[in-house]
A and B are shown apart, each in its own frame.
Chain A
Amino acid sequence: MAAPPIISEEDLHAFVDGETDAQTNSLILAHLATSRADAARVENWRRQNDMIRAGFAKIEHEPIPLSLSLKPARNLPSDTPVRLVPRATDAPIIEEVSPPSLHAGDLAKLCAAIGIAFAGGMMAALVTPHVTGPLADLASSRSPSITRAEDSLPLPSQTLQIAGLREASLRETSLVDKGAVPEAGGKSKDGITAKAPPNDFSPAPLLFRDLAALELSVAGFQIGTAERDPALCLFLATKADEPLTICLAKAQAPENFGFRTTEAAPLRSIDWPEKTSHFALAGYLPQRALMELAQRIHARIGASSASQ
């Protein structure tokens, strides 16, 4: 009668880590049935494995910081009826008409359009680069195929609220409903100032308001629909028609201020914390030009929030 095969410690580790084949597994199980000491060790190692996996499990599902975002321009899925087409992509552009630069009033309409989408309990990212029609046109362009009930999407709503976009947008929506569309500077035609309440830092409306002053035009925007997405991304163009993308997200934790640069030539990005938000600016501009723009945005956002 043949002697039973000797099971080494190496075999036991391989068994716990799933490195053994079915035949070896049978041999090891037979061995463990007769060796309480080894069985206890194996069980202990399995518990350790479970603890390690459980201890770090939630990290994989955390939102990705903007500093690690690799896509300067995000596209909606190709089957989305109304495409969001930033100009700095290799995706086919449906219409070859150059999008006009948007004026401050148009920016307010963009803001209000987001508000309408959310106020109606819908989630939508549906703006074409050509925002020339009245506000009603924007609202009616919402596609049933990409709308869902708000209660099934608690996070985007929450992140937008934290980013300051939703609250301000709703406020502007109510003004729009009364026929008082806000103009540049957050002031409506009837003199009502559409401003965030004191101590409520609202970076998104501030950014919208200051784009014209920064000589940037909007080619489109995208609202984060997944937990890992930024709350809001704007696809911009400089006066020289250089494409840029700026994204806002809720800061994961209080951060010390500093500009952080990532370069994956020819693409560069700069990200920085802004109170309760995190900004990321990406584009193909030279490093110096991109940094200057980031500093200007920071200066304007910082000054605006300080005056609130």
Chain B
Amino acid sequence: MSLRDDLGLITPRLRRYARALSGAASIPGETADALVQRTLTYALQTGPLSPRSDTAVWLYSLLTQFHRDAENRLRGAAAAGESQSLYGGSIGDKTIAHAHLAADGLGAGLASLSLEEREALLLVVLENFSYSQVSHILRISRGVLIERLAHARTALTNAAGPKPSPVPGRPSYLRLVK
């Protein structure tokens, strides 16, 4: 299977990750697709680093880096007092990046995370990568990854607000399996 075929197969997943990761644009899908397009174009121009490298890990690394670059440009623009983002939306601080998602609980939770925490959580939970693969994509150790996951999960819990406590004597993790 050629690289082009691989890219075609993985594009829907990359779009999902990009959409979850980025939200700075007035039209979120457009921002995400711009990131994916840049990733695919770069991948086609350069090719994989080695024939044995994991294409998915490589592509997610690229997309993550491109997204970080875009975020840095946004922050630079915000610091310079410019009101328009790279993709046309207004910017101010990092939480605005997920303002479009904040209408629901999940969006509010993701908006409360730092970029590093969001990357870690989405790669593990949404994209189902192993800790080893995510460590490679984010270029961090396993320990740092778990630390980010822990922070992200705590932040999501806090953003969701207090939950009713489970019924005493009946741990909620026990489920009847038929």
Residue numbers of A with Cβ under 8 A of B are 9-10, 13-14, 17, 19, 32-33, 36, 39-40, 42-46, 48-49, 51-53, 55-56, 59-62, 64-65, 67-68, 70-71, 228, 252-253, 255, 262-265
Contact B150 A17 (CB under 8 A): no
How near does chain B come to A174, taking the closest CB pair, in angstroms? 39
Binary per-residue interface labels of chain B (131-167) against chain A in the complex, 1 for a CB within 8 Å, 0 otherwise: 1000000000001001001100100110000010110
* B153 and A263 contacting across the interface, CB-CB below 8 Å: no
B124 within 8 A of A: yes
Cβ contact within 8 Å between B125 and A49: yes
Main secondary structure on B side of the interface with A: helix
Give Cα distance in the complex from A71 to B7, angstroms.
11
- 15 example contacts (A-B, Cβ-Cβ < 8 A) are as follows A32-B173, A36-B171, A40-B173, A43-B173, A48-B153, A52-B122, A56-B19, A59-B16, A59-B19, A70-B44, A71-B4, A71-B8, A262-B40, A263-B45, A264-B40
Nearest chain B CB to A297 CB, angstrom units:
21
B79 CB within 8 Å of chain A: no
Q: A48-B157, A64-B11 are in contact. Are A19 and B163 (CB under 8 A)?
A: no
Query: Which residues of the partner chain A approach B30 to less than 8 Å between Cβ atoms?
Result: 255
B121 contact from A10, A32, A40, A52, Cβ within 8 A: A52
| Closest residue on chain A to residue B124 by CB atoms | A17
Within 105-127 of B, Cβ neighbours of A (below 8 Å) are at: 105-106, 109, 121-122, 124-126
Closest 9 CB pairs of A and B: A264-B44, A59-B16, A60-B12, A55-B106, A39-B173, A43-B173, A39-B171, A49-B125, A43-B172
In the complex, what residue of chain B is closest to A61 when comparing beta carbons? Answer: B12
B20 at the interface (CB under 8 A from A): yes
B67 at interface by CB-CB < 8 Å: no
Beta-carbon contact of B131 and A33 below 8 Å: no
Which residues in A have their C-beta under 8 angstroms from that of B62? none
Known A33-B171, A59-B19: A51·B106 in contact at CB below 8 Å: yes
| B89 contacts across to A, CB distance below 8 A | none
Q: How far is the CA of A12 from the CA of B39 in the complex (A)?
A: 34
B16 touches A68 (CB 8 A): no
Known: A68-B36, A265-B45. A52 touches B125 (CB 8 A): yes
Which residues of chain B have C-beta atoms less than 8 A from A70's C-beta? 4, 7-8, 11, 40, 44
Identify A44's interface contact among B7, B29, B163, CB under 8 A. B163
Whether B150 pairs with A60 at a CB distance below 8 angstroms is no
Please tell me if the beta carbons of A68 and B149 are within 8 angstroms of each other in the complex. Answer: no
Chain B residues within an 8 Å CB radius of A45:
153
- Complex CA gap A262/B104 in Å reads 35
Contact with A along B63-82 (1 / 0, CB 8 A): 00000000000000000000
How many angstroms from the CA of A42 to the CA of B12 in the assembled complex? 30
User: Is A67's CB under 8 angstroms from B173's CB?
Assistant: no
Q: Which residue of B lies closest to A12 (CB)?
A: B150
CB contacts (< 8 Å) of A52 on chain B: these are 20, 106, 121-122, 125-126
Task: Note all chain B residues with C-beta closer than 8 A to A14.
Answer: 131, 146
> Knowing A39-B172, A252-B29 touch, does A68 contact B44 (C-beta < 8 A)?
no
Shortest Cβ distance from B89 into chain A, in angstroms? 13
What residue of chain B has the Cβ atom nearest to residue A51's Cβ? B106
User: Which residue of chain B is the closest to A36 with respect to CB atoms?
Assistant: B171
Please measure, in the bound complex, the distance between the C-alpha atom of A236 and the C-alpha atom of B177, giving whole angstroms.
Answer: 58
- What chain B residues lie within 8 Å of A64 (beta carbons)? 11-12, 15
Whether B126 lies near A56 (C-beta < 8 A) is yes
Chain B neighbourhood of A9, CB < 8 A = 146, 150
Are A253's CB and B27's CB within 8 A? yes
Residue numbers in B under 8 Å from A62 (CB-CB):
12, 15
Inter-chain contact A44/B157, CB cutoff 8 Å: yes
Contacts of A10 in B (CB 8 A): 143, 146
Partner pick for A60 among B15, B29, B106, B131, CB 8 A cutoff: B15
Contact A68 B37 (CB under 8 A): yes
A49 CA to B153 CA, complexed, in Å: 9
